[in-house]
Chain A
Amino acid sequence: MPMLLRVIGYLLVIESLFMLIPCIIALIYGEDSFLDFLICAGISGACGGGMMMLKPKTKEMGKREAILLTGMTWVILSLFGMLPFLSVGTHLSVSDAFFETMSGFTTTGASVLNTLIGIPKSILAWRCVVQWVGGLGIILFTLAVVPMLNYSGGMQLFNAEVTGITHDKLRPRVSYTAKGLWGVYILLTILLIVFLSFSKMSFFDAFCHGLSTISTGGFSTSDMSIAQWNSIYLKIVMCVFMFLGGVNFSLLFNLLTGKGGNPFKNTAFKCYVVIILVCYIGFVINILIEGLAENWEYLTIDPLFQTISILSSTGITEPNFHDWGSISIALLLVMIVMGSCAGSTSGGAKVDRFVVLFKFLKTEFYKMMHPSTVTTVTINGKGTSGSVVQKTLAFLFLYVMVICIGGLAMSLMGLPLSDSFFCALSAISNTGLGTEVTGLSENYALIPDAAKWLLSLIMLIGRLEIFTILLLFTPTFWKR
């Protein structure tokens, strides 16, 4: 236990350092939230520092500790991360602030703020920083910078946080792997911010959007989101980087270091691209049928932007998406569940898992005709073991279960039926879209407090890919 607290201490200190970013922004723009942020950073830093002082008897960390630590970390960091929302400018209630922070860390991007007009810039920046940190995972960041975790215990943490059925290691030691992934992430972020600042955006907006786009979170600095700037250049840049945010970062790392070869040999990546194209065509047909195409933009960049935004779980919508009609909504639901590649910053059930299951179904059907055939599911040109298929099946079953139970619980809290299920789906997939009450424009202020806590939990379950959190609720986990 002291070991767990010590690691959480490290994480809190890192979080307090991140809090200094909005602090600097407040200073630049002469906002009085400067002091509040400094206090929040001080509180987290002091708590973290105190916990770091603990001298654990043993450095050993087993599976149980690693999973507990991962779950606890995300909750505790959200608790400290919500301090600025409580104190500065917005003065949210505890439920609202926690929801907002969790939505940020899990890169869901659902917000309880009715309007962003009049909100201090430092708070807007903090929301985006939170998403950026949560995008690739704060534990992964810690693994990269804290040498103490560079042993087998760190490996367990890596497994508990990083998404995907199996976890690729880039290098033998976990800290190098973490450094490599974060290196790619930081590089992409800087590129994006530079590209964005060439558009009509101010540097501050470019900075915030840069952070929230590459992490596929989708927090914006404007009520109208990117429609505010209405620029094709902007949309193209965002498209490219949301797309990259949905690609497996190990793959990106290998491509950047020249070890990758042909990315289309990667099954998940290939499917990701194909799905984007298919959905794009679906949207185009839909727009044509509805007769909405006013000019060429309506048929090219808009539907493409929409496809990538939803598939990568960023969840930024086109202003006229409401009018696209029911086929689009149906397509939207499929895409939310699908998500993009494992090992990326995006949410959803991940393309990789669907690939595995579709291939598995194919072999099953084949076996019905030829019962004695022995088959395996091949991914990236290599056969996989049966346990991968089993894990994937279990995962999807739980996915559906969480959505059902979450939706049921929320409809008991008085939300309309479609809303409750849609919210649950949107939360577990970390997309952050809503429908009627919550509105497609991402506003969760109206739903009851209990539902906010529930959704926060579902978002966390979705971000840590279900098993990590649900395991904490099983008796086997606690049995010695």
Chain B
Amino acid sequence: MKIVIAGAGEVGTHLAKMLSNEDQDIILLDNDQARLDVIDSNYNLMTWNGSTSSFSSLRDVGVSNADLYIAVTPYETRNITSCAIAKRLGAKKTVARIDNSEFLNPDNGAILKDVGADFLIYPENIAAQEIAVALYHNWARYWGELHNGGLLLIGVKLHGDSPLLDCKLRDLPVKTHDFHVAAIKRNNETIIPNGNDEIRRDDIVYFITTPPFIQEVREICGKKKRIIKKALIVGGSRIAQRFAKLYNEEFHIKIIDNDRENCENMATILPNCEIVYGDALDIEVLRENNIYQYDAFLALTDSSETNILSCLTAKEFGVPKTIADVENLQFLSQAENLNIGTTINKKLFASSHIFKILLDADESNSKFLALADAEVAEIYVKHNAKITKSPVKDLKLPFGMTLAALVRENEIQLINGNTHIQECDFVVVFCLSGTIHKIEKWFN
């Protein structure tokens, strides 16, 4: 597929790298040559110096035969203009990054679609929703929903009191097979386990399960259910404002920011929230604001370092759930090793969102969810495929993959050793990055 990405900012660059690794034809358009040079010489893609809203440069990059046009400059009006031009010049689908919730309203969306922007992404909005999900399911590190919530991927960090610790997966102390351990993340390494692997303390374990068994998974992980009512937010960034705007009824929200003007501004647009002027790195300020009374601490300033450090401080005060916005991708895995709960990253949200749009457009690609170094794929079982020959336990399947679940006639069921996969099933497979082509031959 030919994809043109306009804007080599953080989201654009990340997306370009990711899609280039997926064997797509990528052209990255920006007017900052210095920024392009770095990417051009290191990645298998083409860069083009030009304005994102200029007819001539869009023609030069060949937008007319592009399958997807993605405008992700920081300016929404420029993105929409650019999509409008690209669409008129012949781009099949267009995606614009916006930062205004008004555009997301279905009625208004139709107008934008008329103009030429087919899909809209609003990274701050996605981030706010992800924060809410993390707060609702606060015992999990990662919460992913597949098939409209029919299948769940839950990542949990195991601490002290779980019966799962130090036992081999085949001797798990459970009778039912209502969940799968799909992957284990241990010190930056992702393991696709088989029966002989053990779960150790401080591993992040990814379970695949269906909604009725969430309770069971939570219990064997030794996690307690906690309902979060009060959230303390540090930093009045755009994500923080968006979150406060969307969820000020579900949660009692207090925002601390160190910019007086911004505080006053927030006070007017967020009447239901408490706004405090102060420096969040100052422990006195946190104490003054009764930090130990809060169930959740969200560090959402523009500085990743500040967010990580203030979350550590909050943990010391005994706040049960902390969430840090870590925008530097390099810090992300460091931050996960520290004990700071959930980390969020706007760029990753935006790019995985666009990735999904892309996958809807390209049916040959079976992947539909990507973690740091593992992939979840849904593969259609073709006629006479090798995998249908016998029940799963008798197949000599390669290492590095787990068959997690299958969808047969719109019904979702988990796969165990006795499952016999049939033609026309959709099978959900968990595997390490880059091994998917080895797996696909089982299904053809």
Contact = CB atoms under 8 A, between A and B. Distances in A.
A156 B46 contact: no
Contacts of A176: 25
A154 B44 contact: yes
Given A385-B33, A385-B34, A151 B44 contact: yes
A42 B227 CA distance: 72
Interface centre among B26, B45, B49, B434 (most CB of A within 10 A): B45
Interface string A49-87: 000000000010001000000000000000000000000
A155 interface: yes
Interface stretch (A166-174, A228-236, A339-347): A166-174
A155 B38 CA distance: 12
Contact of B41 (A155, A171, A173): A155
B101 interface: no
Nearest to B43: A152
Interface string B1-26: 01000000000000000001101011
Interface in A174-203: 174, 176
Interface of A: 59, 63, 150-152, 154-156, 159, 169, 171-174, 176, 382, 385
A113 to B, nearest CB: 41
A63 B43 CA distance: 11
A160 to B, nearest CB: 10
B42 interface: yes
B255 interface: no
A172 B46 contact: yes
Given A151-B21, A172-B2, A172-B46, A159 B41 contact: yes
Contact of A169 (B20, B33, B46): B46
Main secondary structure, interface of B, reads mixed
B23 A150 contact: yes
A173 B34 contact: no
B20 A152 contact: yes
B44 A155 contact: yes
Interface in B46-69: 46, 49
Contacts of A151: 20-21, 44
Contacts of A63: 42
Interface centre among A169, A382, A385 (most CB of B within 10 A): A169
Contact of A174 (B34, B37, B44): B44
B244 interface: no
Interface centre among A150, A173, A382 (most CB of B within 10 A): A173
Q: Which 10 A-B pairs have the closest CB atoms?
A: A172-B25, A172-B46, A169-B46, A152-B43, A152-B44, A155-B44, A172-B45, A172-B26, A151-B44, A174-B44
Contacts of A172: 2, 20, 25-27, 44-46
Contacts of B46: 169, 171-172
A151 B23 CA distance: 8
Contacts of B2: 172
Contact of A156 (B42, B49, B434): B42
A63 B185 CA distance: 30
Nearest to A383: B33
A156 B42 CA distance: 6
A152 B18 CA distance: 11
B23 A171 contact: no
Nearest to A154: B44
Contacts of A156: 41-42
A172 B46 CA distance: 4
A384 to B, nearest CB: 9
27 contacts: A59-B434, A150-B23, A150-B44, A151-B20, A151-B21, A151-B44, A152-B21, A152-B42, A152-B44, A154-B44, A155-B43, A156-B42, A169-B40, A169-B46, A171-B46, A172-B2, A172-B20, A172-B25, A172-B27, A172-B45, A173-B23, A173-B25, A173-B44, A174-B44, A176-B25, A385-B33, A385-B34
Interface residues of B, number: 19
B220 to A, nearest CB: 35
A176 to B, nearest CB: 8
A174 B43 CA distance: 9
A151 B42 CA distance: 10
A150 B21 CA distance: 9
Given A152-B44, A171-B25, 12 more contacts: A63-B42, A150-B44, A151-B44, A152-B20, A152-B42, A155-B41, A156-B42, A169-B40, A169-B46, A172-B44, A174-B44, A382-B49
A385 B40 CA distance: 15
A155 B23 CA distance: 13
Contacts of B20: 151-152, 172
Nearest to A382: B49
B436 to A, nearest CB: 14
A156 B44 CA distance: 9
Contacts of A154: 44
Nearest to A155: B44
A174 B23 CA distance: 11
B438 to A, nearest CB: 13
Contacts of A385: 33-34, 37
A150 B25 CA distance: 11
A57 B42 CA distance: 21
Contacts of B25: 171-173, 176
B139 to A, nearest CB: 36
A63 B42 CA distance: 8
Nearest to B25: A172
A382 B60 CA distance: 14
Interface centre among A63, A156, A172, A173 (most CB of B within 10 A): A172
A176 B46 CA distance: 11
Contacts of A382: 49
A382 B43 CA distance: 23
A176 B434 CA distance: 22
Contact of A155 (B27, B33, B42, B434): B42
A154 B41 CA distance: 10
Contacts of B33: 385
A181 to B, nearest CB: 14
A174 B2 CA distance: 14
A265 to B, nearest CB: 13
A393 to B, nearest CB: 18
Nearest to B26: A172
Contacts of B37: 385
Contacts of A174: 44
Nearest to A63: B42
B190 to A, nearest CB: 15
A69 to B, nearest CB: 16
A154 B434 CA distance: 17
Nearest to B2: A172
A173 B1 CA distance: 11
Contacts of B49: 382
A154 B23 CA distance: 13
Nearest to B34: A385
Nearest to A177: B46
A50 B42 CA distance: 30
Interface in B419-443: 434
Interface string B332-364: 000000000000000000000000000000000
A382 B33 CA distance: 12
Interface string B223-248: 00000000000000000000000000
A331 to B, nearest CB: 37
B66 to A, nearest CB: 11
Nearest to B42: A152
A118 to B, nearest CB: 49
A150 B43 CA distance: 10
Interface centre among B27, B37, B46 (most CB of A within 10 A): B46
B279 to A, nearest CB: 41
A115 B43 CA distance: 48
A172 B67 CA distance: 14
A179 to B, nearest CB: 13
A382 B434 CA distance: 40
A159 B37 CA distance: 12
A346 to B, nearest CB: 24
